[in-house]
Structure 1
Amino acid sequence: MLPISRRARAGAAITTALAVVGASVVTAVTSWAAAPAAVTACAPAWSATTTYTGGQTVSVASENFTAKWWTVNEKPGASAWGPWASQGPCGTSTPTPTTTTTPTVTPTPTVTPDPTVTPTPTVTPEPTVTPTVTPDPTTDPNANPDEKCRPDGMQPTAGVKTPYCDVYDEQGREKLPNGLDRRVIGYFTNWRTGKNDQPRYLASDIPWDKLSTINYAFAHIGPDNKVSVNADVAGNESTKMTWPGVAGAEMDPTLPYQGHFNLLNKYKKQHPGVKVIPSVGGWAETGGYFDADGKRVASGGFYTMTKTQAGIDTFSDSVVAFIRQYGFDGIDIDYEYATSNKDAGNPADFAIANAQRGQLNANFVTFMKTLREKLDKAGAQDGQYYQLTAALPASGWILRGMEVSQVVEYLDFVNIMSYDLHGSWNEYVGGLDPLFDDGKDPELAAANVYGAYDQIGYLNGDWSAKYFRGAMQGGRVNLGVGFYTRGWKNVTGGTNGMGGTAKAPSGYQCPAGTENKCGNGASGIDNLWYDLGADGTPEPAGFNPIWHALNLQKGVVGDYAASYGVPTGPLTGTYGHNFDTVTKNEWWWNSTTKTLITGDSDAAITAKADYVRGNDLGGIMIWELAGDYSYNSAKGQYEMGETLVDILHSKLSTATPYGATKAEANRPMPTDALDVDVKYTAFALGDNNYPINPKVVFTNNGTTAIPGGAKISFQYGTSAPGDMRDQNGFGAQVTVKGHTGNNVGGLKGNFHTVEMTLPAAGIGAGKSVTVPMTWRLPVAQFSNVIVTFGGKSYATTYDNLRGAKVVAPGTGTPTGTASPTNPGTCSAPAWDAGTAYNGGASVSHAGHRWSARYWTQGDTPSAANQWGPWQDQGAC
Structure 2
Amino acid sequence: MEGNSPAVRTSLPLRPFLAVCTALTLILGLSLAVLPPASSTTLANADCRPDGLYTAPGVTPPYCEVYDEAGREKMGEGHPRRTIGYFTSWRTGANNTPRYLASDIPWDKVTHINYAFAHIDDQSKVSVGGDSASNPATGMEWPDVKGAEMDPAYPYKGHFNLLNKFKKQHPNVKTLISIGGWAESGGYLDDNGKRVASGGFYTLTDNQAKMNTFADSVVEFLRKYGFNGADIDYEYATSMKYAGHPDDFTFSNPRRAKLMAGYVALMKTLREKLDAASAADGKYYMLTAAVSASGWILRGHDTYQVTQYLDYANLMTYDLHGTWNHFVGPNAALYDNGKDNELQEGGVYSAYGMGYLDTDWAYHYFRGAMQSGRINIGVPFYTRGWQNVTGGTNGMWGKSALPDQKKCPKGTAGDVGSTTPCGDGGVGIDNIWHDLDENGKEMGSGSNPMWHAKNLEKGIAGSYIGAYGLDPANDPDDRLVGTYARNYDSTMKAPWLWNSQEKVFLSTEDEESIAAKAQYVASKGIGGIMIWELAGDYAWDPARNDGKGEYFMGKTLINTIYDNLKGASPYGNQKSDQKPPADVLDVKVDLGDFPVGDSNYPISPKMKITNNSGQTIPGGATFTFDYGTSAPASMTQQTGWTLSVKAGHTGNNTGGLKGDFQKVTLTVPSWSSIPSGSTATVALSYQLPIATPSNYVLTFGGKSYALTQDYPKTSGLRR
The TM-score range, normalised by the shorter chain, is over 0.9
Q: Distance in 2 between matches of 1:84 and 1:371?
A: 28
One-letter amino acid of the structure 2 residue matched with residue 705 of structure 1: T
Q: Distance in 1 between matches of 2:32 and 2:462?
A: 65
Which of 638, 649, 654 aligns to 2:562? It is 649
Which of 533, 536, 540 aligns to 1:627? It is 536
Which shows bigger deviation, 499-508 or 476-485? Answer: 499-508
Instruction: Tell me the CA shift for residue 233 of structure 1.
Output: 3.5
Which of 268, 281, 284 aligns to 2:183? It is 284
Instruction: Tell me the CA shift for residue 537 of structure 1.
Output: 1.0
Q: Pairwise mapping of residues 422-571 of structure 1 onto structure 2 (< 5 A)?
A: 422-453=321-352, 455-506=353-404, 509-516=407-414, 517-568=421-472, 571=480
Q: Distance in 2 between matches of 1:761 and 1:486?
A: 56
Q: Is the Cα contact below 8 Å between 2:8 and 2:242 reproduced in 1?
A: no
Q: Is the Cα contact below 8 Å between 2:604 and 2:683 reproduced in 1?
A: yes
Q: Corresponding residue for 2:143?
A: 244
Q: Distance in 1 between matches of 2:231 and 2:13?
A: 35
Q: Distance in 1 between matches of 2:156 and 2:351?
A: 55
Q: Distance in 2 between matches of 1:805 and 1:178?
A: 28
For the pair 1:617 / 2:526, whether they are aligned, the reply is yes
Q: Corresponding residue for 1:775?
A: 686
Q: Corresponding residue for 1:789?
A: 700
For the pair 1:730 / 2:644, whether they are aligned, the reply is no
Q: Distance in 1 between matches of 2:79 and 2:141?
A: 32
Q: Corresponding residue for 1:758?
A: 668
One-letter amino acid of the structure 2 residue matched with residue 246 of structure 1: V
Q: Is the Cα contact below 8 Å between 1:137 and 1:145 reproduced in 2?
A: no
Which shows bigger deviation, 276-285 or 790-799? Answer: 790-799
Instruction: Tell me the CA shift for residue 507 of structure 1.
Output: 6.0
One-letter amino acid of the structure 2 residue matched with residue 714 of structure 1: F
Which shows bigger deviation, 789-798 or 378-387? Answer: 789-798
Which of 571, 577, 585 aligns to 1:658? It is 571
For the pair 1:693 / 2:610, whether they are aligned, the reply is no
Q: Corresponding residue for 2:508?
A: 599
Q: What is the RMSD computed on CA atoms of the aligned residues?
A: 2.1
Which of 586, 589, 596 aligns to 1:675? It is 586
Q: Corresponding residue for 1:344?
A: 243
Instruction: Tell me the CA shift for residue 767 of structure 1.
Output: 1.6
Q: Is the Cα contact below 8 Å between 1:148 and 1:803 reproduced in 2?
A: no
Instruction: Tell me the CA shift for residue 310 of structure 1.
Output: 0.3
Which of 163, 171, 187 aligns to 2:70? It is 171
Q: Corresponding residue for 2:99?
A: 200
Deviations 1:677-727 (A, max 9, x none): 111111000011000111101111111222221111111100000011111
Q: Distance in 2 between matches of 1:244 and 1:781?
A: 50
Give 5+ residue unaligned stretches, structure 1.
15-53, 55-66, 72-81, 86-128, 807-876
Q: Corresponding residue for 1:744?
A: 654
One-letter amino acid of the structure 2 residue matched with residue 640 of structure 1: M
Instruction: Tell me the CA shift for residue 788 of structure 1.
Output: 1.2
One-letter amino acid of the structure 1 residue matched with residue 13 of structure 2: A
Q: Is the Cα contact below 8 Å between 2:81 and 2:565 reproduced in 1?
A: yes
Q: Is the Cα contact below 8 Å between 2:45 and 2:63 reproduced in 1?
A: yes
One-letter amino acid of the structure 1 residue matched with residue 559 of structure 2: D
Q: Distance in 1 between matches of 2:678 and 2:192?
A: 56
Q: Pairwise mapping of residues 126-141 of structure 1 onto structure 2 (< 5 A)?
A: 136=38, 138=40
Give 5+ residue unaligned stretches, structure 2.
415-420, 474-478
Q: Corresponding residue for 2:172?
A: 273
Q: Corresponding residue for 2:128?
A: 229
Change (3 A) 1:7 1:147: farther
One-letter amino acid of the structure 1 residue matched with residue 83 of structure 2: V
Change (3 A) 1:531 1:188: same
Instruction: Tell me the CA shift for residue 567 of structure 1.
Output: 3.8
Q: Distance in 1 between matches of 2:485 and 2:56?
A: 54
Q: Pairwise mapping of residues 323-362 of structure 1 onto structure 2 (< 5 A)?
A: 323-362=222-261
Change (3 A) 1:472 1:4: closer
Q: Is the Cα contact below 8 Å between 2:34 and 2:584 reproduced in 1?
A: no
DSSP 3-state at the match of 1:588: strand
DSSP 3-state at the match of 1:358: helix
Q: Corresponding residue for 1:715?
A: 626
Which shows bigger deviation, 151-160 or 215-224? Answer: 151-160
Instruction: Tell me the CA shift for residue 794 of structure 1.
Output: 1.4
Which of 532, 539, 550 aligns to 1:637? It is 550
Q: Pairwise mapping of residues 3-22 of structure 1 onto structure 2 (< 5 A)?
A: 3=4, 5-6=6-7, 8-14=9-15
DSSP 3-state at the match of 1:578: strand
Q: Corresponding residue for 1:684?
A: 595
Q: Distance in 2 between matches of 1:708 and 1:323?
A: 51
Q: Percent identity?
A: 54
Q: Distance in 1 between matches of 2:32 and 2:594?
A: 25
Q: Corresponding residue for 2:487?
A: 578
Greater Rg over alpha carbons, structure: 1
Q: Is the Cα contact below 8 Å between 2:324 and 2:413 reproduced in 1?
A: no
Q: Is the Cα contact below 8 Å between 1:339 and 1:357 reproduced in 2?
A: yes
For the pair 1:384 / 2:385, whether they are aligned, the reply is no
Q: Corresponding residue for 2:615?
A: 704
Q: Distance in 2 between matches of 1:238 and 1:603?
A: 35
One-letter amino acid of the structure 2 residue matched with residue 10 of structure 1: S
One-letter amino acid of the structure 1 residue matched with residue 245 of structure 2: N
Q: How many residues align?
A: 696
DSSP 3-state at the match of 1:451: helix
Change (3 A) 1:510 1:8: closer
Deviations 1:170-201 (A, max 9, x none): 00000112511111000000000001111100
One-letter amino acid of the structure 2 residue matched with residue 799 of structure 1: D
Which of 265, 285, 300 aligns to 1:366? It is 265
DSSP 3-state at the match of 2:232: strand
Deviations 1:191-220 (A, max 9, x none): 000011111000000000011100000000
DSSP 3-state at the match of 1:484: coil
DSSP 3-state at the match of 2:407: coil
Q: Distance in 1 between matches of 2:389 and 2:496?
A: 13
Q: Distance in 1 between matches of 2:450 and 2:707?
A: 47
Deviations 1:251-282 (A, max 9, x none): 00111000000000000010000000010000
Name the TM-score, length of structure 1 as normaliser: 0.77
Q: Is the Cα contact below 8 Å between 1:240 and 1:257 reproduced in 2?
A: yes
Q: Distance in 2 between matches of 1:506 and 1:624?
A: 32
Higher relative contact order (CA 8 A, sep 6+): 2
One-letter amino acid of the structure 1 residue matched with residue 442 of structure 2: P
Q: Distance in 2 between matches of 1:688 and 1:300?
A: 25
Q: Distance in 2 between matches of 1:131 and 1:390?
A: 33
DSSP 3-state at the match of 1:322: helix
DSSP 3-state at the match of 2:624: strand
